[in-house]
Chain A
């Protein structure tokens, strides 16, 4: 039973003193709860996408040894609100020669595609809008609506640059769905289900129970999924559809005001979705280390709420870590060329992801779960993961210390720019 179902029943029982199974107006209560849930999800998207734009800009500023927005609110943390208000107040321009219905509808389609995926994202043990039994397939399907929206925007703008962007993004998204679907298939094979909660349930709270460290093929699948997810989200190094130096921002070039904002909104929401899918499929989702899902389900009262909040926090934390990685990649790498993009996908990622799915199948047939080989594999993969994480943390720490020393050295000196500091 998911939390929305539970809340709706609770509403009917406590407010109307009726049995939800027999009461004729139960569907109204369900509709209200779904509406509230959708609103909450929307608020999450808004609250996530907004500050993340600010965080991204601050991180970018730090990476690029400049400051970034620091004027609105403490450390500039209200910058996203100012940007949003500005966009609301701007004129909604429609080019005279645009294909008006397509042009006007495109941002909503893009946004709907992104937003639809939130239905099946398991934010916590029971914090999920609907636990569909085809959850993962649903995410892949509904996010494809974005392609249609981008194509409509590109075509409807009646600008050659926008058309370029639209076609580029269509080619890119359609191509990269293949490796991302194959990588997720490896997970589906392991979990034996497409339901997002089922996949999370098949893993555990501890890292050696996560799919990513289960065997080498899943580790490879995780990396491939991550790459193709970045490509599907039009993020650098795959940001060809909105390459400002080549095709002048691509499909959204003619948009202004709120419609333009919707594209950006969808982009950042999408960043979260791909991080969340990677988390639930490979990184153990919301699973709390040491607490089994059954214990959470059996808990009562505040304990139940506490477990839910903790699992929610774990999920969001893991997702945010991935989002941070995506941001860092964006500000580090140059952009691929369009033919290289296709080569990366069809010559490398597609065969490799097929291979990893096959490899997972083979290992499932050959290696008994919980057997000695399985545990050796898990241990080895965990070691690899720890080494990578360790090297990363060491590097970040070294950079941080060096910057701190620089800062100390610069203190008291008359500088033309304020010395940089973490936001």
Chain B
């Protein structure tokens, strides 16, 4: 299976006529630029026309073109995905500064709800027709839109108190009066689940209105861990961004490193050598195992089963020990470099890794024995937090949570990269998309990842781990200190950084949580002009109110754990 070719746009061309301004490629993705008046029509057409049927709004972002070229100020970018034909289409639309308004797509894809709020928050582009156009990542008392290029980042703002969320709650009440039927005022209780709560992994706040223990309404508020990843990336060189990516999904830092490096390499047109690809696969799969161990362990703790946590946690420590021998760090590895790796595998890694893989099944099976057929566990998870495949796709689900609904979709199979098509492995799927399925899919994926690592170790080729690309990759130390060309090369790369051509790319990998995408724009300088992350759990979390409303507090906790919301990735 190879990556699908770019989507054929003839039907769209016929439909739009003069409104289609330009056809380009965004990486390997067919991209159309449309007039603002035709944007709503284009998106609806792409979603509904049988030739396209774009089920999912994978990513929605904007670019501030202030320093880029003499076009309109903003550029809104939609990346759409048909999960059956595996085709993607990118839609671009220019938005003038004096009238920054765009029709909302929130009626077409549920994922658009938060994505548009984020664009509004960061760029100040208003999406007309959006039901809840307000800030999402930044504090509600914040002034200005920080990802605009003319934003004064040195100004501070006094942010005095948390948002009451009363407006959203009132709106939900008005929209669903039947849930409050027969209740006196004061009969319900409004409660903040988080941001400081043991089950709010990281810092998630959910305002819930309860009738007894039943959740009537749930209003999530995010952004408590927002630290401006994208703004920071814009003032760092390409390689200096890598440590920031560690902090996205901190349970599997190397997956983020790999995703970012792969995107920038696509931007520069670098092909990394096979050994580097294999090492990236091995470490990313080990990270996936760790991520699933953490997620399932923590989820079971939320259900009151503490022992599983330790079984799984000990295994994770063992994997950390191995990764420490490779990268020198346990949690934040920063292992990849643009065009290669920071260093080759240490001596004795392959046998140590094989020995470790033999240890993986026992603790996982021990934990499975405790829960897989445990009546209490089944009662707590089966049918809890259920979501259908269609809804999940509309919400922008990907990864284990989407597969748990019974839909087989894995970027390692559908858009194979780094030779994943050479490995034999299954894609475990669930049945009904409930908490039980999500937990079990993660457990089964651990075994599949073990298979992949075993095969990768068998096939691990020799050779260099850095690409032969002197403009981007540092020369080896003996060349740096041994001859003048190497010295100059080193100096150039250090002082002037990597300068990719003016280009844009959207590139995604299958991270443990789902589709981890990087939308990188280069203006030809040594720093990314824009570096947008597509965090899988941001879109997954948009569905949380739907999953928990009508269930009990304890179910909400179990569901939240099984979605694997990582605040570092969610809030960036």
Contact = CB atoms under 8 A, between A and B. Distances in A.
B554 A160 contact: no
Interface in A384-422: 416
A336 B370 CA distance: 15
Interface in B275-333: 300-307, 309-311, 314, 317, 321
Contacts of A416: 317, 321
Contacts of A248: 197-198
Contacts of A19: none
A240 B199 CA distance: 15
Given A65-B314, A245-B199, A335 B303 contact: yes
Contacts of B317: 416
B306 A331 contact: yes
A339 B554 CA distance: 10
Interface string B324-363: 0000000000000000000000000000000000000000
Interface string A205-246: 000000000000000000000000000000011011001111
Contacts of B165: none
Contact of A66 (B302, B314, B371): B314
Interface stretch (B65-73, B91-99, B123-131, B373-381): B373-381
A299 interface: no
A29 B401 CA distance: 72
A338 B300 CA distance: 17
A338 B199 contact: no
Contact of B304 (A60, A239, A338): A239
B379 A340 contact: yes
Contacts of B191: 160
Interface string A231-270: 0000011011001111110000000000000000000000
A160 to B, nearest CB: 5
B301 to A, nearest CB: 6
Contacts of A1: none
Q: How large is the interface on B (under 10, 10 to 19, 20 to 34, 35 or more residues)?
A: 20 to 34
Contacts of B380: 334-337, 340
Given A246-B553, A246-B557, A237 B311 contact: no
Nearest to A161: B191
Contacts of B552: 337-339
Given A64-B310, A160-B191, A337-B554, A236 B197 contact: no
B307 A63 contact: yes
B314 A333 contact: no
B213 interface: yes
A60 B311 CA distance: 12
Contacts of A303: none
A236 B300 CA distance: 14
A160 B307 contact: no
B305 A334 contact: yes
Contacts of A72: none
Contacts of A164: 213, 553
A337 B189 CA distance: 19
A292 interface: no
B554 A246 contact: yes
Given A64-B309, A66-B310, A334-B304, 16 more contacts: A64-B310, A66-B314, A237-B304, A239-B304, A245-B557, A247-B553, A333-B305, A333-B376, A334-B300, A334-B303, A334-B305, A334-B380, A335-B380, A336-B379, A338-B552, A416-B321
5 closest A-B pairs (Cβ-Cβ)?
Answer: A335-B304, A64-B310, A334-B305, A245-B302, A334-B303
7 contacts: A160-B191, A243-B554, A245-B302, A245-B303, A245-B304, A335-B304, A337-B554
Interface of B: 189, 191, 197-199, 213, 300-307, 309-311, 314, 317, 321, 370-371, 374, 376-377, 379-380, 552-555, 557
